[in-house]
Structure 1
Amino acid sequence: MTPTRYLAALAAAASLLFMLGGLRGVKAGPADNDCAVAQTAFGDCTGYIAGVEDKLSPRCCRGLADIRDMAPTFDRRRALCACIHKEMLAAGKVLTRRAATLPARCGVRISFLPTTHDFDCYRIPRAD
Structure 2
Amino acid sequence: MTPTRHSPAVVAAALLLAVLASGRRGAEAGGDESDCSVAQTAFSECTGYVAGLDEEIPPQCCQGLSDVKDLAPGADQRRDLCACLLSEMLAAGKVDSGRAAGLPSACGLSVGFLPTSPDFDCSQIP
User: Quick one: percent identity of the two aligned structures?
Assistant: 56
Give the superposition deviation at 1:91.
0.6
Give the whole-Å Cα distance in 1 for the aligned partners of 2:53 and 2:91: 15
1:30 aligned counterpart, secondary structure: coil
Highest Rg: 1 or 2? 1
Which residue is equivalent to 2:77?
76
Give the superposition deviation at 1:32.
2.2
Q: Count matched residues.
A: 98
**Gap change, CA 1:91 and 1:40, over 3 Å in 2:** same
Unaligned 5+ segments in structure 2 are 1-25
Give the superposition deviation at 1:43.
1.1
Structure 1 residue identity aligned to 2:123: Y
Which residue is equivalent to 1:13?
none
Which residue is equivalent to 2:18?
none
**Map of 1:6-25 to 2, 5 A cutoff?**
none
Give the whole-Å Cα distance in 1 for the aligned partners of 2:60 and 2:73: 21
Query: Structure 1 residue 88 and structure 2 residue 89: aligned?
Result: yes
Which residue is equivalent to 1:44?
45
TM-score relative to the length of structure 1: 0.73
Which residue is equivalent to 1:111?
112
Runs of 4+ aligned structure 1 residues displaced above 2 Å come to 29-32
Give the whole-Å Cα distance in 2 for the aligned partners of 1:65 and 1:52: 21
Query: Structure 1 residue 66 and structure 2 residue 96: aligned?
Result: no
Q: Deviations over 1:86-115 (max 9, x none)?
A: 101101111110000000000111100001
Give the superposition deviation at 1:31.
2.6
Give the whole-Å Cα distance in 1 for the aligned partners of 2:44 and 2:31: 19
2:34 aligned counterpart, secondary structure: helix
Structure 2 residue identity aligned to 1:41: A
Q: Deviations over 1:60-101 (max 9, x none)?
A: 100110011110111111111111011011011111100000
Give the whole-Å Cα distance in 2 for the aligned partners of 1:32 and 1:102: 27
Which residue is equivalent to 1:35?
36
